[in-house]
Amino acid sequence: MTDSGPNPIGKHRNFYGRRHGKTLKPNQQAALENDLGALRLAGVDQGENPDRTPLNLSFLHGRPLWLEIGFGGGEHLVHQAAQHRNVTFIGCEPFINGVAMLLRKIRLAGVDNIRLHPGDVRDLFDVLPDGVVEKCFLLYPDPWPKKRHHRRRAVTPEYLQPLHRVLAPGAELRIATDIPDYVRQALQEVPKAGFEWLADSAAEWRDPWDDWLSTRYEQKALREGRVPHYLTFRRSKA
């Protein structure tokens, strides 16, 4: 497998949908204005770091780094951060309404081990050192259901190659989705990108992880009769 380097400015193909939703509530707007600045990672956006200088990782304080990509409303990210206080988390989410919801949850939960990039995770990939992320969550990513849009999914080489580079050898990648064709594409593309699927029985992809917190999106999927799949991969040690 060949890892890719930084992407030229403006060359990313979106694997996410909208960036803004309904008008923010006053408390959500206040959270963005008061809390985001202290948690937002500096030097990730291409505009503020066009040379793609590697990120200063002093904020880790020697702790392991876990990454959640597309955290939605943030309930799973806050749950993990509360359960693993000795881990530093980075959450990436381009949907600003989701960022506002997460900030409120962080304040209410009192967790202090989360940092944020409110944008495209591939901008973060550009500036992370090799092998620094020890666990990654990709939970209910945008399904891009139309066939012509499948190349925008997050389980494509354009996305998986830089992800492979920033993950540590042996790191765990968790993918949750309720879209059968997304499962098919993940099982086809993720192993080719240098990951091993960790499943010896059907229960290992039908049953959620022991530390799983069901998200609002998953509850909606269950109400509408869709079946969640929980895929666990391990990054190759080579």
Beta strands in the chain (DSSP E): 65-69, 88-92, 114-117, 133-139, 167-177, 195-197, 229-235
Count of Cβ atoms closer than 10 Å to residue 205 Cβ: 18
* Separation in Å, CA 66 to CA 101, 106, 116, 128: 20, 16, 12, 12
Q: How far apart are CA 236 and CA 85, in angstroms?
A: 27
Dihedral sign for Cα atoms in the order 193, 196, 200, 203: negative
Choosing from 120, 123, 142, 178, the catalytic residue is 142
Continuous H helices in 84-224: 96-109, 121-127, 157-166, 180-192, 203-206, 216-223
Task: Tell me whether residue 3 is one of the annotated catalytic residues.
Answer: no
Q: How far apart are CA 189 and CA 172, in angstroms?
A: 16
Contact between 112 and 38 (Cβ < 8 Å): no
Give the strand pairing for 114-117 and 195-197: unpaired
Instruction: Retrieve residue 56's tokens.
Output: 């200063």
Q: For helices 96-109 and 75-83, give the axis angle rounded to 10 degrees.
A: 30
Q: Which residues are catalytic?
A: 142
